[in-house]
Amino acid sequence: MKDRYAVVGNPIVQSLSPRIHTAFADQVGDPIEYDKLLVEPGEFENFAREFFAGGGKGLNVTMPFKLDARDFASVLTERARAAGAVNTLALQGDGSILGDNTDGAGLVRDITCNLGWPVRGKRVLLLGAGGAVRGVLLPLMAEAPASIHIANRTPARAEVLAADFAQAELSASGFADATGPFDLVINGTAASLSGAVPALPRGALAPGCCFYDMVYGARPTVAMQWARAQGAEAADGLGMLVEQAAEAFVVFRGCRPDTAPVLAALREQIRA
């Protein structure tokens, strides 16, 4: 009997997780059963309890249940505590449920390994101050950048986020005051989904800047197009999706799959 896993969210029909995790499992010769399941708001705790009681081994959790997953977990990893949210729940040998957040690790691995962009010693600008940015801060800081500046449409939210991590190299402002120049810019806002670009001042992007948009699609996002027009190299977040899934697969199965063929296949799929 195959071990059972699933991704849960609302909505969930768009999720690529079943394809990604099934490909990982087939690749390492360790077949699993993996579903995508719709849960109604307010029902996550009951669903998760029944899932694990019924023999489920692990869950990937997407919006809007990452805070519910954090509260459901028996124990949290350091990166989950820092993120304040959980996207991976895994049954442990003692019956406890581990809560982890693999988003930041996925982002860093895509940037440093797949794209070959250095983070160490670089001036980093994070756009946005929501859960997506909070989730990647700890792994980014572990890469030892020269500095990290958080810019948000509402400056106070960026300032609160920077203060929460209490790190001397973190600073914060509104978009207009993110003067830079920055070597690496990571867009953690949803602006690209509405065809908008955060209003950064002229000169915010340093020569040779790398621009990463967490959003992905069949074509370059509006933010990526804007960055390339400023002379930056730009990439979308599809690699982050695959790499955070690989990190979750390590939590689930204890081995790391090869992400390159899976990422290439997904890229071809979304372009079709």
Is it the case that residue 189 has pLDDT exceeding 70? yes
Closest CA to 34 of 14, 50, 69, 58: 58
Lowest mean pLDDT: which of 17-26, 40-49, 100-109, 158-167?
158-167
* Residue 180 confidence class, pLDDT cut points 50, 70, 90: confident
Residue 46 assigned ligand-binding role: no
Rg over CA atoms, the chain:
19
- pTM score, whole prediction: 0.94
CB atoms within 10 A of CB 201: 11
Q: What is the pLDDT of residue 271?
A: 85
* Residue 195 confidence class, pLDDT cut points 50, 70, 90: confident
Q: How far apart are CA 198 and CA 113, in angstroms?
A: 27
Enzyme catalytic residues: 66
Contacts of 268 (CB under 8 A, 6+ apart): none
Q: How far from chain centre, in Å, is Cα 132? A: 6
Residue 78 assigned ligand-binding role: yes
Is it the case that residue 147 has pLDDT exceeding 80? yes
Q: Which helix (H) or strand (E) holds 147?
A: strand 147-152
Percent of the chain residues topping a pLDDT of 70: 99
Residue 173, classified by CB atoms within 10 Å of its CB into exposed (0-12), middle (13-18) or buried (19+), is: middle
Residue 22 assigned ligand-binding role: no
Q: What is the mean pLDDT of residues 128-133?
A: 92
* Residue 191 confidence class, pLDDT cut points 50, 70, 90: confident
